[in-house]
Structure 1
Amino acid sequence: MKIDELDAKIVELFTADADIGVLAASRKLGVARPTVQARLDKLKKTGVIQQIAPILNPAKFGFPVMAFVSVEISQNVGHVSVGAALEVIPEIVEMYTVSGDQDVLIRIVAESNDDLQRVLDSISRTGAVTRTRSAIVLQTHFQNRVLPLFNVVGRKRVEALER
């Protein structure tokens, strides 16, 4: 999908304020409301925007400990079965199948270090996991940093059109 400067501005605006609404966005951008709605619909339909939703901060509702865990799985199990086994553990907030020495990378949150141990034990008890290695996050500098990348694509398209 080709992204232009208006698409980039719309995404940036809704990223900064998901509650803004289409009418307020159209006024702020100086374009017609149906234009903003059509662009949002197109971005959603093509999957560029997966959803407009609140971004929850687990630390603010009782889960201040975060860790990244590399997981080795039983080779006779497969990643789909592991995904199903791990999905039932609510403290696992992300899961990726990866290449390299490990098979799966997950991000988990916990109430405390003791609670982190409980979650790691739950992961090990699934029967699909042979080993875990964890790294506790000490400080988050940024996360979900996709908007700058999206803006780069928009700028490149505008520059190409200007040539």
Structure 2
Amino acid sequence: MDDKDLQILQLVQSNARLTADALSAEVGLSPPAVQKRLKKLRDTGVIEREIAVLSPGELGRDMTVIVQVVLERENRMYLDAFKRTMRDAPAVQQCYYTTGEADFILVVVVRNIAEYEEFTQQYFFDQSNVSRFTSSVVMDRVKVSLDII
């Protein structure tokens, strides 16, 4: 990966809809050269996915909760089961397996406190391997980004 690849990545991570023509004008390469580089970046997994960032409030999902989860048992079987469950949970926007006091940190987006209570019942209280969890309700989305460079 060279400086041109990094420039392309920086541009597409903030706007994945930029055309090869627009990117080529910014980085000083021909559109076919930009397309070839993008293909390679996708094929090698540097670009994992291209997504749209949606406004939770506009979709009626006004509540974001940061949740720290501690599991009762931490062997591979239980960890993998919890990871699968979180991957499949529609309200879970992000899930991180972490070191420290919590085993997992989640970003959960729901409509309201009642929907969050339903979430906790289904995914924490009804799961025998969840020892405890701590919830922090987000007051303000100060920065939302997955930008790396």
Q: Which category of TM-score, normalised to the shorter sequence, fits these structures?
A: 0.7 to 0.9
Distance 1:146 1:57 in 2: 17
1:58 paired to 2:56: yes
* Structure 2 unaligned residues grouped into runs of 5+: none
Identical aligned pairs, as a percentage?
A: 23
- The secondary structure found in structure 2 opposite 1:78 is helix
Q: Deviations over 1:93-140 (max 9, x none)?
A: 111111112111111011012222221222221333121101111112
Based on CA coordinates, which of the two structures has the bigger radius of gyration?
A: 1
In the superposition, the TM-score normalised over structure 1's length comes to: 0.78
1:25 aligned to 8, 23, 33, which one?
23
Query: Matched residue of 1:134: which SS?
Result: strand
Give 1:78 shift.
2.1
The answer to whether the 8 A contact 2:68-2:104 is kept is yes
> Is the 8 Å Cα contact of residues 85 and 126 (structure 1) preserved in structure 2?
no
CA RMSD of aligned residues (A): 2.0
Aligned partner of residue 67 in structure 2, secondary structure: strand
Secondary structure at 1:132 match in 2: strand
Residue of structure 2 equivalent to 1:87: 87
Which whole-Å CA distance do the structure 1 matches of 2:16 and 2:147 have between them? 15
- Give, in whole Å, the separation in 2 of the partners of 1:126 and 1:88: 15
Counterparts of 1:96 and 1:145, CA distance in 2: 14
The answer to whether the 8 A contact 2:14-2:147 is kept is no
CA distance in 2, matches of 1:50, 1:113: 33
Distance 1:20 1:86 in 2: 32
Counterparts of 2:136 and 2:70, CA distance in 1: 15
Compute the displacement of 1:30 (Å): 3.5
Partner Cα separation in structure 1 for residue 41 and residue 89 of structure 2: 32
2:113 and 2:70 map into 1 onto residues whose CA distance is 22
**What residue number does 1:73 align with?**
71
TM-score norm. by structure 2 comes to: 0.84
Question: In structure 2, how many angstroms separate the alpha carbons of the residues matched to 1:99 and 1:16?
Answer: 30
Q: Distance in 2 between matches of 1:97 and 1:16?
A: 26
Question: Secondary structure of 1:135's partner?
Answer: strand
Contact 1:18 1:52 in 2 (8 A): yes
SS at match of 1:41: helix
